[in-house]
Amino acid sequence: MNKKIYLIRSSNNKFGGAENYLLRFSNALKKNQIEHQIINSPFPNFLPSWMKALLFNFQLNFIKKDKFFYSFDRISCPDVYRAGDGVHKTFLSIEKKSKLNLLHPTYCYLEKKCFNNAKAIIANSKMVKDEIIETYQINPNKIHVVYNGIELKNIDYPKSFNKLSKEFQISKKDSIILFVGSGFKRKGVEEFLRIFSKIRYKYIKAFIIGKENNIGYYQNLSTKLLIDKKVFFTGPRVDVDDFYTISDILLFPTHYDPFSNVVLEAMNFENVVFTSSNNGAKEILDNDFIMDAHNDDKLILSISNLLANKTKLNKEKKKNKKISQKFSIENNLKQTLEIVKKIE
């Protein structure tokens, strides 16, 4: 790279998937001694989200000049745009959102500008590439698929189990089903709880990790489903790796996700992963692990059978670990820089 890269992301939320990916990407750039700078939005949180988005976009246009912008946000002046948030118009067609919320038309306005003005677009799944082409008629040759990259880690089960068993009522004979994600409605926590309640296996516990403003609704639902003694709502955690380590299955019935980082992270910690067909991460999974619908009865049977057959369960866990190793942040950086250098 001849030019300094400016990485654009309005939010610096330490629990956000996109923000964590950006941090990994920045660290990989540092290791390769590539000059870069992260630009976050300076505008205060008391402003409406739509206003902050427009003000941040205005600020970036003002300072752009000959700077090279690699944007992780919908802005009207990117050189390269990484569509890690997917296509907002597609998201709106899946999720029913208030038409009075000005954030949605603002995002759609910026999204259209972004896709049209970017010299290159990086989609983190084929699903997102197809959505961009279908929704905005963008030239397919301008869009490159680069799957997410993670930091590959080693497992220390005794350490993680000993730590968490002091905080939660779990034993080594328990099979653990995991959910990780903030914004429970879109990520499918209600579906998670309903599926979990139907799994017929004696020794089973669930952890639900993430931020949710309406958490009481989900806690009450777990009580109604008679699983409240088996389900732990932890809130957001900085020690998510420990939960991945002790878990057997990640169940992630999201309504819409361009490509969930949690899928790769869970696979790297030897979890079997089940997710929905609206998640771009389905592209690295076998069909048996993709949910046809949020109340897929075949899925309940598949999970129950896996838990009852430890040999098969462990085989799938090892297989996922091996798959995840193809998706290191180093490989992600290499693929990304090849695209960036062509248009620098």
Cα 274 to the chain's mean position, in Å? 14
Residue 1 has pLDDT above 70, yes or no: no
Give yes or no: residues 173 and 130 share one domain: no
Q: What percent of the chain has pLDDT over 70?
A: 97
**pLDDT given at position 3:** 83
Amino acid at 218: Y
Residue 83 shares a structural domain with residue 205: no
Distance CA 280, CA 148 (A): 10
Instruction: Check whether residue 123 and residue 169 sit in a common domain.
Output: no
Same domain, 66 and 202: no
Band (94; pLDDT cuts 50, 70, 90): confident
* 98/206 same-domain check: no
> Residue 326 and residue 66: Cα distance in Å, rounded?
35
| Prediction pTM value | 0.91
- E strand segments, 83-225: 120-123, 143-145, 175-180, 204-209
B/e letters for 153-182, b = 16+ CB within 10 Å, e = fewer, are eeeeeeebbeebeeeeebeeebbbbbbbbb
The pLDDT value recorded for residue 235 is: 94
Adjacency order of strands within the sheet including 249-252: 231-235, 204-209, 175-180, 249-252, 272-276, 290-291
What confidence tens digit (pLDDT) does each residue in 142-199 have?
999 999 999 999 999 999 999 999 999 999 999 999 999 999 999 999 999 999 999 9
Residues 266, 280: one domain? yes
Q: Which two tokens stand for residue 120?
A: 């290159």
- CATH code, domain carrying 144: 3.40.50.2000
| Rounded CA Rg of the chain | 21
- CA distances 83 to 72, 172, 185, Å, are 7, 41, 22
Claim to verify: residue 168 and residue 131 sit in the same structural domain: no
What rounded mean pLDDT belongs to the chain? Answer: 93
Report how far apart, in Å, the C-alpha atoms of 169 and of each of 161, 162, 206, 221, 344 are.
11, 11, 11, 20, 54
Tally of structural domains, the chain: 2
Number of neighbouring beta carbons within 10 Å of residue 275: 24
82: left (phi over 0), alpha (psi -120 to 50) or beta: beta
**What pLDDT, in 10s, does the model give residues 315-336?**
999 999 999 999 999 999 999 9
- 342 pLDDT band, cuts 50/70/90, is confident
Distance in angstroms (rounded) separating the CA atoms of residues 52 and 60: 12
Do 120 and 215 belong to one domain? no
**Shared-domain flag, residues 125 and 239:** no
- Left if phi > 0, otherwise alpha if psi is -120 to 50, otherwise beta: which for 33? left
- What phi and psi, each to the nearest 5 degrees, are found at residue 178? -120, 145
In terms of domains, do 118 and 214 share one? no
On whether both 42 and 129 belong to a single domain, the answer is yes
Expressed as residue numbers, the domain containing 134 is 5-149+328-343
107 and 187 co-located in one domain? no
